[in-house]
Amino acid sequence: MKSNYKILGKFIRPVNIRNVELKATTLLGVNIGKFFMPSVANIIGTDMTAYKIIKKRQFACNRMHVGRDYRLPVAISTASEDFLVSPAYDVFEVTNTEELLPEYLMMWLSRKEFDRNAWFYTDADVRGGLNWKAFCEMELPVPNIDKQKEIVKEYNVLVDRIELNNKIIKKLEETAQAIYRQWFIDFEFPNKDGKPYKSSGGEMEFNEELEKDVPKGWRVVNFDDISLIQNGYAFRSSDYVTSGCKMIRTTDIDDRGFINDTNSIFLPIEFYKLDVYSNFKFEEFDFVIVMVGASVGKIGLITKSNLPSLQNQNMWRLRPKKDSFPRSFIIENAKIINDNVKSQASGSARDFYTKDLFKKYRIILPDDNILAAYKLISESTLSNIGNTFTENRLLSNLVNILLSKIATINN
């Protein structure tokens, strides 16, 4: 053990404050990603006095499934208000914050290396529990408090920037959706004088198929008249290598609609150059939809940080059929179609989309001038989303490097 490594149990103590007075009402769970999230537990009729109260700078963790999940779900409270966690969770706190900063400890607990080490401490149960004594016997480097503050400050600069970028991305996505709605649902795109088309008396005509008025000259077409829908390829596991070209899988699509390929499987880089795989090469701003399995309907955007990469099976790749069709027009239409056809998945034990659900879905197609104008404004928004996401990937890499370096930091 290095000279500045200490036993964790010397710095923490269990906390067991129950909600006996029912003052706290918000119930949160600990996500496997090491943050608090709204609980999905059904608490109707439950005795809430048994639940544990957690205060700011205290920790909660679930030690029951470490061996199964290969990580310890643990989080620190940054909230000013007290909230509740499950009675099954351990709540603990740092005994002396002049010796160990809670925020520094959370950095240590966030390390991939910590989770790998925790896995070795688990018991023989099928779920692989981590008992409290074993947890307390784990070691961590404890430099002086000034050094800890310096490390935490550096970490927070990166994390705060990532959080700001996530808010920017969300705002940009909302802007893209709002522009699409304004132009192609409300028909309030700018006319030749820059005024909203429909409310400024733009010429409309009744469309029998849609049973409503649409701008004159606009047509109703199948989705596959504007978009190519490409199936993926079933690459063989025997072709996997340790570095090269990324293979994007359905499991790489995150809950925010992007591709998180930090745990990518790689294929030989030569595959990216072979004609036999040319149909499965991703481009920036390709859009993917899971078409089979438990996550059917899950969507993701390919960004520059995901390239070069090839498309695995069980997903469709959507791409404009012509350069004049804006990618944003394809993406926003695909989102609408996806929302509308989810109830039409197979209904079998393994849900799936039939391609005709998308190919034959009827959409409204504006004239070329409107598409060209929309392309100018929407592609700029899409580019900003991609660039901001790529920046976050670089910042996340820096966070991981910083977390890894903690193990070697001395006073």
Report the chain's mean pLDDT, rounded to a whole number.
Answer: 91
| Calpha distance 301→311 (Å, rounded) | 13
Strands 299-301 and 245-248: unpaired
Output the pLDDT for position 46. 81
* DSSP bridge pairs for 318: 229, 287
Confidence at residue 119, expressed as pLDDT on a 0 to 100 scale: 85
Hey, how many other C-beta atoms are within 10 angstroms of the C-beta on 108? 20
Cα angle 52, 58, 60; round to 5: 55
DSSP string, 183-223: HHTS---B-TTSSBTTTTT--EEEETTTTEEEETT-EEEEG
Reference 331, options 279, 286, 385, 388; nearest CA is: 286
Tell me the backbone φ, ψ of residue 96, rounded to 5 degrees.
-140, 105
In which domain, by residue range, is 121 found?
5-142
Instruction: For the beta carbon of residue 163, count every other beta carbon within 10 angstroms.
Output: 12
pLDDT for 411 equals 61
If asked whether residues 50 and 149 sit together in one domain, one would say no
Domain-ending residue, one of 108, 142, 176: 142
Q: How high is the pLDDT of residue 68? A: 77
| Stretch 233-262: mean pLDDT | 93
> Which pLDDT belongs to residue 349?
47
Is the model's pLDDT at 24 over the cut of 90? no
From CA 293, how far away is CA 250, in angstroms rounded? 10
CB 40 within 8 A of CB 69: no
Write the pLDDT tens digit of every residue in 259-282. Answer: 988 888 999 999 999 999 999 999
Q: Shortest CA distance to 329 belongs to which of 374, 367, 285, 298?
A: 374
Instruction: Give the Cα separation of 182 and 32 in Å (integer).
Output: 39
Q: How confident is the model at residue 293 (pLDDT cuts 50, 70, 90)?
A: confident
Q: Is residue 286 part of a domain?
A: yes
CA–CA separation, 280 vs 267, rounded Å? 13
Residues 298-352 pLDDT 10s: 999 999 999 999 999 999 999 999 999 999 999 999 999 999 987 776 555 457 8
Inform me whether the pLDDT recorded for 290 exceeds 90: yes
Residue 198 located in a structural domain = no
Strand-pair category, 12-15 with 90-94: antiparallel
Give the other-Cβ count within 10 Å of 279's Cβ. Answer: 14
* Residue 211, in any domain of the structure: no
Within-domain flag for 14 = yes
Residue type, 133: K
State whether 241 and 355 are in the same domain. Answer: yes
What pLDDT sits at residue 350? 58
Q: Are residues 330 and 357 in the same domain?
A: yes
Overall domain count for the chain: 3
Dihedral sign, Cα of residue 356, residue 358, residue 362, residue 366:
negative
209 falls within a domain: no
Examine the domain organization and report whether 231 and 309 are in the same domain.
Answer: yes
Which pLDDT value is given to residue 312?
A: 95
| Domain presence at residue 177 | yes
Q: How far apart are CA 329 and CA 363, in angstroms?
A: 11
Do 347 and 372 share a domain, yes or no? no
114-123: long-range contacts (C-beta < 8 A, 24 or more apart)? 114/72, 114/138, 115/66, 115/70, 115/71, 115/72, 116/70, 118/66, 118/71, 118/72, 119/66, 119/67, 119/70, 119/71, 121/66, 122/66, 122/67, 123/67
- Segment 2-10 mean pLDDT: 86
Do the beta carbons of residue 52 and residue 85 sit within 8 Å?
Answer: yes
In terms of domains, do 119 and 20 share one? yes
Q: Do 155 and 89 share a domain, yes or no? A: no
pLDDT in tens, 200-242: 999 999 999 999 999 999 999 999 999 999 999 999 999 999 9
Give the integer Cα–Cα distance in Å for 114 and 91.
Answer: 19
pLDDT bin (cut points 50, 70, 90) of residue 75 is: very high
240 falls within a domain: yes
**So what's the pLDDT on residue 127?**
61
Q: How far apart are the C-alpha atoms of 201 and 106, rounded to whole Å?
A: 60
344, 246: one domain = yes
Amino acid identity at 411: N
Indicate whether 132 and 149 sit together in one domain. Answer: no
Confidence (pLDDT) at 25: 87
Residue 42 contacts by C-beta under 8 Å, 6 or more apart in sequence?
A: none
**pLDDT tens, position by position, 124-179:** 565 678 889 999 999 999 999 999 999 999 999 999 999 999 999 999 999 999 99
pLDDT digits (tens, 9 = 90+) for 86-139: 999 999 999 999 999 999 999 999 998 999 888 888 865 656 788 899 999 999
Please report the sign of the dihedral spanned by the C-alpha atoms of residue 315, residue 262, residue 282, residue 309. Answer: negative
Q: Please tell me whether residue 115 adopts helix, strand or coil conformation.
A: helix
- Token look-up 């890499």 returns 397
| Cis peptide leading into residue 196 (ω within 30°) | no
- Sorted by sequence, the CB contacts under 8 Å of residue 368 that are 6+ apart come out as 324
**For position 12, which CATH number holds?**
3.90.220.20
Indicate the pTM of the whole model. Answer: 0.84
